[in-house]
Amino acid sequence: MDKLVIQGGRPLRGSVKVAGSKNAVLPVLAASLLTDEPLVIPNAPRVADVRSMLKVLESLGSRVVQHSDGAIEVCSASVPRSEATWEHVRRMRGSVTVLGPLLARMHRACVSLPGGCVIGVRPIDLHMKGMRALGAKVDLDGGDVRAEAFSGLVGSEMYLGGAQGPTVLGTANVMMAATLAKGRTVIHGAACEPEVVDLGDCLIKMGAKIHGLGSPRIEIEGVKRLHGAEHAVIPDRIEAGTFVIAGALTGGAVRVENCRPDHLMILLERLSEAGLAYDHGEDWIATVPYDTRAYGPRPTDVTTLPYPAFPTDLQAQWMALMTTARGMSLISETIFPDRYMHVAELMRMGANIRRQGASAIVMGPAQLTGAQVMASDLRASAALVLAGLVARGQTEVHRVYHIDRGYERIEERLKEIGASIVRVDENVSIDTSEPDEEPASSAPLRDKVIVPATPLPSGA
């Protein structure tokens, strides 16, 4: 196992290109099961979750080709097996999205229930509800979801929202199943996330008839068959947001390229509220540098909600930023109320955070100090790396495989924008501190001067 060793206190500076979206590519890969022709994704991110999904598809009989330029081609001309086993599904929840395509194409499917994870129970009752609404018989059998519709799926009108709002992968699953169902399907309470829109755009390229993408009401007219296509997924908005927060947290000048600012409006809005300046163009966002000894962000509350509100996948990273704010910030997590594995680790670095049920109160500014910390879920791990970038001294983030699930070569790309970060084997002890270096953040924090924020993108 590897760990990341980070020497904090340096403002980041430089450009970083955002990879294709992990959360868009996973259901798009599952969509390859809907046709016997090849589906090509030229910009799939090279992350562990994609590799896990490819293993699931190969276990079902799909042929997977990974080209040297990173492009992935999946062809499910024959799908002799319709059973996604626990061995594969347990690794990655996104593999549950093979359920809809298998049911639509094979009229039967058996998918092991994805396990819970550190951010919550992760039920799939809404996925099952959607399949039943399309006429499938769905049962739980020894930890597996067994579904069958031997005379094929039949379109219907359904409400797919749950107690915590819409389901992203549930909407993806039902939308894919409905593309080959007989007649019309209307999904009310559908997820509006860009990743769902991107999947819909891919399905339309494959010959599906879909309207209402990006709205809570999606209409699908079933067709007899779908054909192959080539689809480049959208840039990863969570990776982009993570790098933007890294720039803002270290007072650096980071230009995040190949991203979609219009997918990150809420983050830009909260950065402005925090008095942190940035610039942006059509496909880039750049943080404006400031001296972290003299300035700091204004305390700014966030509540995670479905898109276009603040994404739960940036909650941990925002919390890391708010540890340096001068005052109290309230973070409320409505999607995964237990998604606070990062709190204990941030507190070990000197952060002052108090959990209150599904909320956390962050008191700043805290002078974070480097520590040995343990990664847990993907985004909590990213938050620990961010904290290490601004902490005084050396931080070691253990169990880096969590980060590798969703971030491509994270240490190489952070190093390219000035971070002092190396990946070493867990058992190697290393001291990356530079002698008599005056850590930037050791000077006393003077009164904060608010850095003028750039106005929000107009009409982006």
| 345 touches 380 (CB < 8 A) | yes
| Residue among 5, 18, 103, 335 that touches ligand EPZ (CB under 6 A) | 335
**Smallest distance, ligand EPZ to C-beta of residue 344, A:** 19
| Residue among 124, 158, 256, 322 that touches ligand EPZ (CB under 6 A) | 124
Q: Quick count: other Cβ atoms within 10 Å of Cβ 15? A: 15
117 labelled catalytic: yes
Query: What is the SS3 assignment for 429?
Result: coil
Which lies closer to ligand EPZ via its Cβ, residue 8 or residue 94? 94
Burial class of residue 166 (count of CB atoms within 10 Å of its CB; 0-12, 13-18, 19+)? buried
| Residue among 14, 38, 61, 120 that touches ligand EPZ (CB under 6 A) | 120
- Report residue 154 as tokens: 């039949």
**Smallest distance, ligand EPZ to C-beta of residue 199, A:** 10
| 44 touches 50 (CB < 8 A) | yes
Choices 77-85, 166-174, 287-295, 435-443; region in contact with ligand EPZ by CB under 6 A: 166-174
Query: What is the SS3 assignment for 390?
Result: helix
Which lies closer to ligand EPZ via its Cβ, residue 23 or residue 441? 23
The length of the chain, given as a count of residues: 460
**Smallest distance, ligand EPZ to C-beta of residue 167, A:** 3
For residue 308, is the peptide bond before it cis, meaning its omega torsion is within 30 degrees of 0? yes
5 binds ligand EPZ (CB under 6 A): no
Choices 168-176, 182-190, 206-214, 355-363; region in contact with ligand EPZ by CB under 6 A: 168-176
Choices 59-67, 164-172, 203-211, 256-264; region in contact with ligand EPZ by CB under 6 A: 164-172
Residues 6 or more apart whose Cβ sits within 8 Å of residue 142:
none
Which lies closer to ligand EPZ via its Cβ, residue 43 or residue 312? 312
What whole-number distance in Å separates Cα of residue 40 and Cα of residue 230? 5
| Residue among 7, 23, 272, 315 that touches ligand EPZ (CB under 6 A) | 23
| 31 touches 233 (CB < 8 A) | no
127 binds ligand EPZ (CB under 6 A): yes
Choices 161-169, 182-190, 430-438, 443-451; region in contact with ligand EPZ by CB under 6 A: 161-169
| Residue among 164, 303, 332, 369 that touches ligand EPZ (CB under 6 A) | 164
Angle between helices 168-178 and 125-133 (to 10 degrees): 20
What separation in angstroms does the CA of 264 have from each of 235, 238, 419? 11, 9, 24
| 242 touches 386 (CB < 8 A) | yes
Give the bridge partners for 394, in sequence order. 7
In this structure, is the dihedral angle defined by the CA atoms of residues 203, 209, 215 and 216, taken in order, positive or negative? negative
Residue showing tokens 């194409």: 105
Which lies closer to ligand EPZ via its Cβ, residue 2 or residue 193? 193
Q: Of 368-427, which residues contact ligand EPZ (CB under 6 A)?
A: 378-379, 406
**Smallest distance, ligand EPZ to C-beta of residue 312, A:** 5
441 binds ligand EPZ (CB under 6 A): no
Catalytic residue among 117, 192, 202, 259: 117
Which stretches of the chain bind ligand EPZ, using CB under 6 A? Answer: 23, 26, 93-94, 120, 122-127, 162, 164, 167-170, 195, 312-313, 335-336, 378-379, 406
